[in-house]
């Protein structure tokens, strides 16, 4: 017997208006949970979102021997008496957290096995960056049929110099988790500087780690002998905040987003302002409206502080509502445009190319990677039955359905529920006619 499929039915219901309160970032909370395993005492994370990725990570940590307590918006991780060095096969392909557990398990037990990485199908996640860094720090790492096995000679990694070939967020996080308890000093060049990475570094510092953040993408970590638990309140999710701001703009409404600091949305805000959006920004909230309509734009995604790759999926739908032709150039993930066919089925006029359009030549230049899109705005969208490819694409399909003629049926909604805090309720609160139903098996 298969699991019954859950779908959302979306009927356009005019402009979306109202208030949204964003919780901590999906991409931060799970990494903080992993970092908490390094403390000798309990750690507590506040303002945590209720998302599927957290549920998976809770199960994973419990299976390793940690105690995890949850109350609404609060997660406490308590060290276990004995830690199992092996992440179970049942977590194969569920999300990207197992790879980040390699370094903590090496610190705690001297060995580790994690099943192969999962997560959204948006390009080859550079697992080799993680593995190369751990090898440089003295770990023996081998790939097996089911995953990655690692061990250290004397339960201690050693500080070293690491040059990342690309500022990968995940690899930078692995290095932080490895270096904080390593012997001696680690210097990382070419590190990622996304807000979630800095937030993780600050949390580790609260636990007792010694970390220096330098300009020019350099991080210096002095290893310490032990870390203690810490408490932290997670800052609001910039990807979710942007998604809801666009939900207001795309439907001709106005959404007020609370809880995400302005500095996390600098580039996004300016990009939308260039398209004709008007902003009101206070210490508590940000709101965007476009009473005079939207102009087209040429945008290229980049590592922080550039325009985030996760912002481009809602932006693509916004382009369909602008006057004229817009261009998007994706430079971070080679398979990020997998969601375009679903939007085209709803009437979005989008053409994709393997050339670098809308920005300078990127690392996908002269490859066959489809990574640029041209979008014609102003056409009418229509309801359709579509399957969601990944978490951000899922949100963009809801946006398209919100401005389409007729009802849309969205399948694969677990993708959105994995990454957004109560998305169905949030959309309903903004006035969208959206219902959830189980299809008979």
Q: Look at the block and give the residue holding tokens 């004229």.
A: 324
Query: Does the CA dihedral 152-153-154-157 come out positive or negative?
Result: negative
Residue 247's Cβ-count burial label (10 Å; 0-12, 13-18, 19+) is: buried
Q: 234, 297, 232, 229: which is closest to 268 by C-alpha?
A: 297
* Whole-number Å distance between alpha carbons of 400 and 243: 12
Angle 398-402-406 (CA atoms, 0-180°, nearest 5)?
110
Q: How far is CA 13 from the centre of its chain?
A: 29
CA distance 228 to 40: 5
d(CA 421, CA 415): 12
Q: Is 47 left (phi over 0), alpha (psi -120 to 50) or beta?
A: left
Picking from 59, 77, 81, 55, the residue whose alpha carbon sits closest to that of residue 68 is 77
Per-residue tokens: 309? 């790759």
Dihedral (CA of 31, 161, 136, 119) sign: positive
Handedness of CA 189, 194, 195, 200 (dihedral sign): negative
Q: Active-site residues: which are they?
A: 120
Is 151 buried (19+), middle (13-18) or exposed (0-12) by CB count in 10 A? Answer: middle
């Amino acid at each position: 017997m298969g699991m019954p499929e859950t779908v959302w039915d979306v009927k356009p219901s005019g402009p979306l208006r109202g208030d949204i309160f964003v919780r901590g970032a999906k991409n931060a909370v799970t990494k903080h949970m992993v970092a908490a395993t390094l403390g000798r005492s309990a750690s507590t994370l506040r303002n945590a979102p209720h998302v599927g990725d957290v549920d998976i990570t809770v199960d994973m940590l419990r299976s390793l021997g940690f105690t995890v307590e949850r109350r609404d918006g609060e997660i406490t991780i308590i060290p276990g008496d004995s830690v199992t060095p092996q992440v179970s096969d049942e977590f194969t392909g569920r999300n990207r957290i197992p790879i980040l557990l390699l370094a903590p398990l090496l610190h705690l037990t001297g060995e580790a096995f994690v099943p192969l990485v999962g997560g959204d199908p948006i390009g080859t996640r550079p697992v080799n960056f993680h593995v190369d860094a751990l090898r440089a720090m003295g770990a023996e790492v081998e790939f097996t049929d089911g995953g990655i096995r690692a061990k250290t000679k004397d339960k201690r990694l050693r500080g070293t110099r690491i040059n990342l070939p690309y500022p990968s967020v995940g690899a930078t996080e692995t290095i932080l988790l490895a270096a904080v308890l390593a012997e001696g000093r680690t210097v990382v060049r070419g590190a990622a500087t996304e807000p979630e990475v800095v937030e993780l570094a600050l949390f580790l510092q609260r636990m007792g780690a010694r970390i220096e953040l330098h300009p020019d993408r350099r991080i210096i970590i002095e290893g310490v002998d032990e870390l203690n638990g810490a408490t932290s309140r997670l800052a609001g999710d910039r990807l979710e905040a942007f998604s809801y701001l666009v939900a207001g703009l795309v439907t001709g409404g106005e959404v007020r987003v609370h809880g995400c600091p302005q500095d996390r949305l600098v580039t996004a805000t300016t990009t939308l302002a260039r398209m004709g959006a008007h902003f009101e920004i206070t210490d508590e909230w940000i709101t965007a409206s476009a009473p005079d309509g939207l102009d087209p734009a040429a945008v290229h995604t980049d590592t922080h502080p550039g325009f985030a790759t996760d912002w481009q999926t809602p932006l693509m739908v916004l382009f369909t509502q602008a006057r004229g032709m817009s261009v998007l150039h994706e430079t971070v993930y080679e398979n990020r445009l997998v969601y375009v066919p679903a939007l085209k089925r709803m009437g979005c006029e989008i053409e994709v190319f393997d050339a670098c359009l809308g920005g300078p030549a990127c690392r996908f230049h002269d490859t066959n990677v489809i990574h640029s899109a041209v979008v014609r705005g102003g056409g009418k969208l229509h309801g359709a039955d579509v399957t969601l490819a990944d978490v951000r694409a899922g949100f963009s399909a809801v946006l398209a359905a919100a401005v389409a003629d007729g009802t849309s049926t969205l399948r694969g909604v677990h993708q959105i529920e994995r990454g957004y805090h109560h998305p169905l309720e949030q959309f309903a609160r903004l006035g969208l006619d959206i219902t959830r139903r189980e299809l008979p098996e």
